[in-house]
Every structure is written in C-alpha cells, then in structure tokens.
Amino acid sequence: MKNLLLTTSLAIALSTQAYATGTHGGGHDENQPTEQTEMMVGMPGDPAKVDRTIDVTLLENDEGQMLIESEEMTIKEGETIRFNITNKGELEHEFVLDTVERNAEHKIEMAKMDMEHDDPNRIRLDAGASGEVVWTFANSGTFEAACLIPGHYEAGMHREVAVGDQIAQADVEYTSGTIKKIDAEAGKVTIIHGPLVNLDMPAMTMVFRADEAMMAKMAEGQEIEFVADRVEGKLTVTQVK
C-alpha cells in the first residue's frame, strides 16, 4: 500500500512539473530561437565578439506615446550588436527583434493572453530596469524592434531595423553646421546648421546634447558634418565627421 501511494504521488508531482514548464499556445516553443537556431532576423550573438553597442531607451512621453529611442538602427549584414536597453518609463516594457510579419502575428497572440517569454531575441523590463540583447544580424532585410505588450505597439513602440551590406554607412545623411558654443559641463553644444532631413527640421541654430567623447572632437567656430537624433527625448549629436 505504501509503495502504491508513493508511486501515485510521484506520478502526480512529475505531471504537475511538466505542466508548469510547458509552452504557451500549444507548442509555440518550436519557433523560439536558441543558440543553435537561426531566424530571418539572425541569431543570438556571442558577447565576446560584439562589433558595436547601441544604447536603447524604452519610455512613455507626455503626449501618451510609447517609444523605443536610440540612434538609427542601420546595421551591416553579419554585424553582432549589443543592445544596452534601459526602461526609463513608468510601465513595464519589452524589446523584441523579429520580422514585421512575425511581430504582427505574435502581437495578436499577446492580445489574447499577455505572455512573458524567455527568448534571446527579446527582453522584458520593469520600470527602471535595464538589460541587454546580443544579436548577430546574419541576413539582409528590413526588420523591426518592438514592444508587443498589449497596447504598447499601437502607442508607437516600434521602429525599423535595416540590415544590409554597408547599409550602416550608406543610409546615414550628414548635415553641415558650424559650432557656435560648447558647454562641456552641461553636455550641450550650440550648432548653426542646415536642414536636418531625418528629423524633418529646417536650417536654424539649435542646442544639442552630446556625450563627452563627441565633444572632444569639437571646438567653437569649427565647421562640421554631423548626424542628430532624438535620444531620451532630447536632440542629440550621434555622429560627427
């Protein structure tokens, strides 16, 4: 009798464990990327072989938008990128790399049941948390970084990831300008510049943010060619030549 009870208890325990560790949606697990599999967007990257790092910020703004902010995600085919991701919003957000089509499909699944995954092409972060995704972009194409938590994508939390041979340089459009003033302590630089095509802004004189390394390349009165983008909601110089 004792042996029968012991056998029955063991069977129930194993059954419960198998159910608890099962996959959602009846077998979605076979499509999840692992260290051995490759997706259209690429495959998990080796942290020891990173080519460059892209800092990413997840946040909400005062207009009710939810945003993924970073420099332009233009990447060379074969590059391994470390995405340093920080959630500076007040809500939980995620960062998912995939094709536009697969993100659309998964967004429908997420609308039915908000599921948290443990896949190398994504990370979910609580407010104030940070983490990283290391990814090798093995194939050319237009992909997407997105947050698929219900309602977040619709609020604007997605952006294009363009991958191709030499595309990282070919798609960058520089703007000519003259440095009027540098405030190194505040991390600001005033530039008299031409039109900023990527930001749809006319020629004018504006104050930009810039990091210490970027400012080391600058001097008042210097003529430069630069790229600017919105980083954490602030106009920021991201490249100079």
pLDDT digits (tens, 9 = 90+) for 211-223: 888 888 899 999 9
When pLDDT is averaged across residues 40-67 and rounded to a whole number, the result is: 94
**How far is the CA of 24 from the CAs of 28, 105, 116, 117, 130, in angstroms?**
6, 15, 10, 9, 26
What CATH fold (topology level) applies to the domain 175-240? OB fold (Dihydrolipoamide Acetyltransferase, E2P) (2.40.50)
Share the mean pLDDT of the chain: 83
> Which ranges in the chain are annotated with CATH 2.60.40.420?
34-170
Q: What are phi and psi of 152, to 5 degrees?
A: -75, -45
Task: Quote the CA–CA distance of 159 and 194 in Å, as a whole number.
Answer: 26
Q: In CATH, what number does 34-170 get? A: 2.60.40.420
Tell me: pLDDT of 26 over 50: no
**Does the pLDDT value for residue 55 go beyond 60?**
yes
pLDDT value of residue 213: 80
Which DSSP string do the residues of 5-20 spell out, in sequence order?
Answer: HHHHHHHHHHHHHHHH
The pLDDT of residue 232? 74
Q: Where in the chain is the domain with CATH 2.40.50.320?
A: 175-240
Q: Nearest-CA neighbor of 150 among 109, 202, 119, 207? A: 109
Dihedral angle of Cα 216, 219, 223, 227, to the nearest 10 degrees: 40
Confidence of residue 234 (pLDDT cuts 50, 70, 90): confident
Q: Residue 128: is it exposed, middle or buried by C-beta count within 10 angstroms (0-12/13-18/19+)?
A: exposed
